Structure 1
């Protein structure tokens, strides 16, 4: 086990939550990679991988498991167990925490809703939503981008796909935060863990009510398709149905919110790149890929060893945790020339912002579509767009990278043009 020193200070991934690295974690990632790209982090009690080639290889290696293993509930207070135990078990049956063949079975049920063709069919609706959100702030000359745009856009889209009322989205943010705390990997006190699981239990209860309504009044949407799979028996059980509804709703808007916030902030910090995209909207697909690489919404993901593994001269032991740092891999100079430079024309851009291998993000095409429509429309409709403050507060998270609030100002909003009218036909 390596003891990494810089001066007298031990290097550890947990430093990413220090103020200087919360603002910009990439210098820390570079230091970790330069000292040792594969090291045991005493504070994290895990192996930390920061090199692109290692991250990609681990994420497609079946010896590195995503599964939780047995769900332990003995620690729960007896009086809360009937409420909290089902929540924990349902989360453990999400695609995110399963290995093949269960993962393959569940992913296959949901994947048909996220094919490129199905996602592209949503473009007119996404365009209308983008314009409606901008219409709502057009006379103000300012907005808080996260609350007014980056959160509601993906929340409405995924809510409509699942067939749940978009007016419930104010509650979604609370439940998504509860789910995010469970995924974050940070230390939760006993009381915080109970509160978090209680929120997830409420999330599950919400979907139970939605599902009960569908059994008597079926509809044509993703939730109904999942209910049908559950009714067919061995394709999907109730825990899997509920757990993956939570996953789709939470993951379907939380990380896209971060993509939109991080992306606009990066553009505003690089006005020459912002102007490039404004003048060349056809560059949007390439630009969004670069924004994803440059400041990824998900910074790391973890795996657990199912057996002893020899890896690049190291011996990983069964049961040990391995943290693959996606944000570090996306700034590895061996893979990305001049990785800390934002270059919207970067074409050889095989980033891992959406993960890699069997667990590659199912909603990646939808997230990219929403970002492409959002950024091109914002830059077309909001002249003189700029930050309203230099003090941007980041979410204190190991896993997720996002912005709490992003106040912006603009001179005026131009009316929707023929592009929107054409999209509505």
Structure 2
């Protein structure tokens, strides 16, 4: 049997944790022929993968099908587009692409967004209370971070619905979700649409700068070198896509954990100071982060297993966060768990730039849901989980507020 752990099957996407437990116990460094990759499932190995300078983030090639498969134009376009993403770059390019954004995502600037986030979240809560039954993903967890990252970046609110659709089509490529030809063609169309709109916005910011992130990106650069127009478009697409999908799944997965563990939800309602620990524990318990890939630049060894230079290696974040060697009773959701050292936002040079913003949005949104909706309950026992390796979350989350 070529897939003894049942990886990337519908059952796996619904609940990957039994497979992860078997991998950690039986084969913590697993060669997975279907992807031509090695999978690391234990916490220490995944942590080392994220920190090791011998591991390259320049891994766009393995995400794309062969160019001779009738998709040569799509492969060339998407290879160039994703190649300009800082998450797929090593230093010094990674430093140059990331540097203009560090000030925008500083602790001080993130804290200044709290009134905007609170106002938007409050409006969504009021709308949900009025209808009673709603989709927590589509009606709250997705629109809130989309509005916030659109505000930060400087995208017109009227354009955000289009960008949401395009980013979903774009992110299907690194997630390796769906049929390869269909996802490549849809992502190519999404890139063309994003290029058209962002080119217009970039031209506007060059002539009339404002105080948004797009103006910063257009008019500054590391070491006095501004980003090229192609890099600007790709960077804006990355910020917009990662800035809302990640947070939406933090909120969605966190609320599923709370609503399926009524004792923990009751403890949170009894002690609101547990909200921040509850969010950290939910990110450990059911991380929105999926598989994080690297390419070896020389032969390396994990768990006594040699991996040759040029090898594709995935760190399984969700598995690392359930490693019983690090977390006592790791399969238990416990919002009072001390010192939750999860790997959800990564480590090292590529630690998530928007982690503080995601935490703030989750704290505000989930806090309002818990306080304003004391009778909040799930309307389904089973959910449609995203089928892809990059993110973990549900497509819809039907709930009732009363």
Q: TM-score, normalised by structure 1?
A: 0.88
Equivalent of residue 354 in structure 1, options 322, 335, 345: 345
> Aligned equivalents of 1:192 and 1:155: distance in 2?
22
Tell me the residue number matched to 1:227: 218
Post-superposition shift, 1:312? Answer: 3.2
> Aligned equivalents of 1:90 and 1:76: distance in 2?
19
**Structure 1 position 387 matched with structure 2 position 378:** yes
| Structure-to-structure mapping, 1:189-268, within 5 angstroms | 189-229=180-220, 234-268=225-259
Are the aligned partners of 2:61 and 2:79 in contact in 1 as well (CA < 8 Å)?
no
> Aligned equivalents of 2:77 and 2:233: distance in 1?
10
Post-superposition shift, 1:85? Answer: 4.3
Q: Aligned to 1:389, what secondary structure does the other structure show?
A: coil
| Structure-to-structure mapping, 1:1-400, within 5 angstroms | 10-12=3-5, 15-68=6-59, 75=68, 81=73, 85-186=76-177, 188-229=179-220, 234-400=225-391
Are the aligned partners of 1:26 and 1:328 in contact in 2 as well (CA < 8 Å)?
yes
Tell me the residue number matched to 1:420: none
Are the aligned partners of 1:258 and 1:402 in contact in 2 as well (CA < 8 Å)?
yes
Are the aligned partners of 1:52 and 1:329 in contact in 2 as well (CA < 8 Å)?
yes
Structure 1 gap ranges (5+): 1-7, 412-425
- Aligned CA distance change for structure 1 residues 176 and 132 (closer, same or farther; 3 Å): same
> Aligned equivalents of 1:371 and 1:247: distance in 2?
20
Equivalent of residue 407 in structure 1, options 373, 398, 401: 398
> Could you list the per-position Cα deviations for residues 206-228 of structure 1 after superposition, in whole angstroms to 9, with x for gaps in the alignment?
21111112222221110000000
> Aligned equivalents of 2:53 and 2:336: distance in 1?
35
Q: Aligned to 2:250, what secondary structure does the other structure show?
A: helix
Deviates further, 255-264 or 309-318: 309-318
Deviates further, 213-222 or 189-198: 189-198
Number of equivalences: 400
Post-superposition shift, 1:86? Answer: 4.7
Post-superposition shift, 1:310? Answer: 3.3
Are the aligned partners of 1:84 and 1:201 in contact in 2 as well (CA < 8 Å)?
no
Are the aligned partners of 1:87 and 1:201 in contact in 2 as well (CA < 8 Å)?
no
Post-superposition shift, 1:324? Answer: 0.5
Q: Aligned to 1:315, what secondary structure does the other structure show?
A: strand
> Could you list the per-position Cα deviations for residues 279-301 of structure 1 after superposition, in whole angstroms to 9, with x for gaps in the alignment?
22222211111111111111211
Post-superposition shift, 1:54? Answer: 0.5
Structure 2 gap ranges (5+): none
Larger Rg: 1
Are the aligned partners of 1:84 and 1:198 in contact in 2 as well (CA < 8 Å)?
no
> Aligned equivalents of 2:348 and 2:247: distance in 1?
20
> Could you list the per-position Cα deviations for residues 349-389 of structure 1 after superposition, in whole angstroms to 9, with x for gaps in the alignment?
11001111111110000000100111111111112110112
Q: TM-score, normalised by structure 2?
A: 0.93
Q: Aligned to 1:383, what secondary structure does the other structure show?
A: coil
> Could you list the per-position Cα deviations for residues 222-253 of structure 1 after superposition, in whole angstroms to 9, with x for gaps in the alignment?
00000002599624222221111110000000
